[in-house]
Amino acid sequence: MLKYFLVIATVSCLTACGQTNSNNQSNNKSDTAPSLTKDKQMDTAFFWKIMDYAFAKAQFDNKLKEQAILDQLTKLTPDQIQQFEIIFQQMNQKASTWNNFAAHTIIEGGSSDDTYYYFRCWLISLGQKNFDETLKDPDYLASLDIPINKKYGYGEVIFEELIPMSDKAYSIVTGKQTEDETFPRAFVQKKGLFYDSNTDMKGKEWTDEDLPKIAPKLYKKFNKN
């Protein structure tokens, strides 16, 4: 009987340990640097692997996040870096919604074409889950520990460092110091896929009076009036 009990206990322990290890591996996926072989094409899934990895490594520290992304991009081929820029521009356009514009206005107490573009870059840099959840409901951002500017009290939600990132990586990988039409930003502009500021916004236009209804939790968190 004792022998039977010991066997059951051992099996149960091994099963539990296996499940624990499996869970740990699943939770730490974003902590592992992604790898793309030179014969593979950059796609949306790998784009988000880079963003997920950078956010897991740096969270809201823009300097660390910038370096983490750049480190990954410089491992790619020139063609893969160009494709990364195309996907970045697509995500930038996808994030251009009236609801996201409202979220940015609430968090920073105002917005403009340029700062809203920097906000969309920041949103992309948070990784796929945070990006997708915010597109579903901008109030999701209230659940994140967004850094607060101690002097002025607004949320720090810009990451303009992402804009020239592909060109920086391309210059490092190719050794080119002078930009030409092969550089990622010029490359996508030539293809008509350039969506910097002044991007058309999707969704329903709002007035300031609508902001508490669009994202009530976010409004309560950042509106100090």
In tens, the pLDDT along 145-178 reads 999 988 888 899 999 999 999 999 999 999 999 9
Per-residue H/E/C for 113-153: HHHHHHHHHHHHHCCHHHHHHHHHCHHHHHHCCCCECCCCC
C-alpha–C-alpha distance, residues 83 and 111, integer Å: 30
**Predicted pLDDT of residue 33:** 77
**Predicted pLDDT of residue 151:** 84
**Predicted pLDDT of residue 19:** 41
Q: Which residues of the chain have pLDDT under 70?
A: 1-30, 197-198, 224-225
**Predicted pLDDT of residue 157:** 97
**Predicted pLDDT of residue 29:** 60
**Predicted pLDDT of residue 197:** 62
**Predicted pLDDT of residue 94:** 94
* Distant-in-sequence, close-in-space partners of 213: CB < 8 Å, separation ≥ 6: none
Tell me if residue 202 falls in helix, strand or coil.
strand
Q: Would you state the structure tokens that stand for residue 34, as one six-digit string? A: 């992604």
Closest CA to 34 of 75, 62, 63, 67: 75
CA angle 163, 167, 172 (to 5 degrees): 135
C-alpha–C-alpha distance, residues 12 and 20, integer Å: 12
Query: Cβ(158)–Cβ(119) under 8 Å?
Result: yes
Task: Give the C-alpha distances (Å, rounded to integers) separating 181 from 99, 186, 188, 195.
Answer: 35, 5, 9, 17
- Domain extents for the chain? 42-222
**Predicted pLDDT of residue 215:** 97
C-alpha–C-alpha distance, residues 214 and 100, integer Å: 10
Query: Cβ(223)–Cβ(106) under 8 Å?
Result: yes
Bridge partners, residue 155, by sequence: 148
Query: Cβ(136)–Cβ(129) under 8 Å?
Result: no
Bridge partners, residue 97, by sequence: 202
**Predicted pLDDT of residue 30:** 67
